[in-house]
Amino acid sequence: MMMTSVPPDIQLMLVRDPKETVQAICALENPFQLQDFISSYEKIRKLEKSIHIKNAHTHFYSLRLFGFIEQVEGRPKGVYQKSETAIEICKLLPSNEKKAARKIRNLLLENVEKGPLFQDFEQFAKTKKEFTMDEVKNRYVIWRTIPSLIEWSVFGKIIDIDRNQNKMWYLGNDEGKDIPVKDFSDHFFKVFYMMKSETAFGVEIYYADISKIRTKMCLSLDWSNGKWDKHMTKLLNSPKGKQLRLYGSTPSTFETKQTFSYDGTSYAYIGIND
Three-state DSSP at 46 gives: coil
Under 8 Å between Cβ of 107 and 99? no
CA distance 230 to 164: 20
Largest CA distance in the chain: 72
Q: Work out the average pLDDT over 156-180.
A: 87
Contacts of 155 by beta carbon, 8 Å cutoff, 6+ apart: 18, 19, 22, 101, 104
Identify each DSSP E strand in 83-196 by its residue range. 130-131, 159-162, 167-170
User: Which pLDDT band holds residue 249 (cuts at 50, 70, 90)?
Assistant: low
Under 8 Å between Cβ of 63 and 21? yes
- Using CB atoms within 10 Å of the CB of residue 1, give its burial: 0 to 12 exposed, 13 to 18 middle, 19+ buried: exposed
CA distance 87 to 80: 13
Q: Tell which wins on pLDDT, 219 or 140.
A: 140
Contacts of 111 by beta carbon, 8 Å cutoff, 6+ apart: 65, 66, 67
CA distance 147 to 137: 10
Q: Work out the average pLDDT over 217-234.
A: 86
22-52: pLDDT as tens digits = 999 999 999 999 999 999 999 999 999 999 9
Using a pLDDT cut of 70, give the percent of the chain over it. Answer: 89
Residues in a beta bridge with 170: 159
Q: Work out the average pLDDT over 180-191.
A: 93
Among 2-6, 68-72, 101-105, 268-272, the least confident range: 2-6
Identify each DSSP E strand in the chain by its residue range. 69-71, 80-82, 130-131, 159-162, 167-170, 200-202, 205-209, 244-247, 260-262, 265-267, 269-273
Q: Tell which wins on pLDDT, 33 or 166.
A: 33
Residue 199 has pLDDT above 80, yes or no: no
Under 8 Å between Cβ of 108 and 158? yes
pLDDT at 250: 55
Using a pLDDT cut of 90, give the percent of the chain over it. Answer: 60
Evaluate the CA torsion angle 198, 200, 204, 206 in order and state its sign: negative
Residue 197 has pLDDT above 60, yes or no: no
Closest CA to 217 of 259, 186, 174: 186
pLDDT at 203: 42
Question: Identity (one letter) of the amino acid at 11?
Answer: Q
Residue 198 has pLDDT above 80, yes or no: no
pTM, rounded to two decimals: 0.74
128-140: pLDDT as tens digits = 999 999 999 999 9
